[in-house]
Structure 1
């Protein structure tokens, strides 16, 4: 949605349930054409957040990591069962070399993402891309970037969100 106000927000997520709840809140706001880019190290909670997004959208089946299939589509449940009519396309760019050493050329990864035809999916679905920072933002005018990390002695998860205010606002 070009021209919307971009904003930032930091959320402390003490438990995995809090990470899922943040995802659910984001999912309740997503519309076809929205792109969510998830970033963070292994174990930071990207897939947990994506599962919450799926709950908020009301999609069929559990949302699990698509690492070995690269992309998975989750159709919306019927409205009577909580579906919002928005399909979720969940992508994991890790297998494209993102997050590995040596880091691949971002242009090469972006080209591989383009081969998945995600821009077509964006006309009818909300797309969530794990490990997509720096390689997937070109797919939409104003994606929501969520950087997850663990910090402090108890490794509490922290999410830093940047994107359209309608998706970031509490």
Structure 2
């Protein structure tokens, strides 16, 4: 599924719609260049999950945990040097727990992931427009057109 968003707000709103539909054990793998909108999308996912906390990228901590309708485990694996470092933080317990995992730069740890993840690739079209390709998560539905108010 390919979705075009025309502003950071639309990218956020797509995340809200996604977060509202996620279930325990869902794993979102986010990939895209720096500044593509991975954290913006994650902020929307968090809102859709009912997380009230301010969401920041866990660039130096690897994982941030948030409470909402479901726990949200937000990973940023950009700075890991060896994928097996993930075992040291109990990565498998997060993956196979009752929360939702969002993994920025997820292709870097692909071999540690199960097969049934939701892959999201974000590409910059221009300064504000993004092409978002979603693979997996066949149960997810999105409207044909995203409106700035997210409805």
The verdict on a shared fold, with TM-score over 0.5 as the criterion, is yes
Matches of residues 1-170 of structure 1 in structure 2 within 5 Å? 9-76=1-68, 84=69, 86-97=70-81, 108-109=82-83, 111-122=84-95, 123-136=97-110, 138-151=112-125, 156-167=129-140, 169-170=141-142
Q: What SS is found at the alignment partner of 2:25?
A: coil
Runs of at least 4 residues of structure 1 off by over 6 A? none
**Contact 2:15 / 2:43 at 8 angstroms: preserved in 1?**
yes
The structural deviation recorded for 1:136 is: 3.5
**Which whole-Å CA distance do the structure 2 matches of 1:131 and 1:116 have between them?**
17
Structure 1: how far apart are the matches of 2:29 and 2:88?
A: 18
CA contact (8 A) 1:113 1:136 kept: no
Q: Report how far residue 140 of structure 1 moved.
A: 3.0
Aligned-pair Cα RMSD in Å: 1.7
SS in 1 for 2:136: strand
Paired positions, count: 141
With the length of structure 1 as denominator, give the TM-score of the two structures: 0.76
- Distance across 2 between alignment mates of 1:53 and 1:11: 16
Q: Which structure features the higher share of helix residues?
A: 1
Q: Which structure has the greater CA radius of gyration?
A: 1
Q: Is the 8 A contact 1:137 1:143 kept in 2?
A: no
In 2, Cα distance between equivalents of 1:134 and 1:70:
13
Instruction: Give, in angstroms, the shift of residue 36 of structure 1.
Output: 0.2
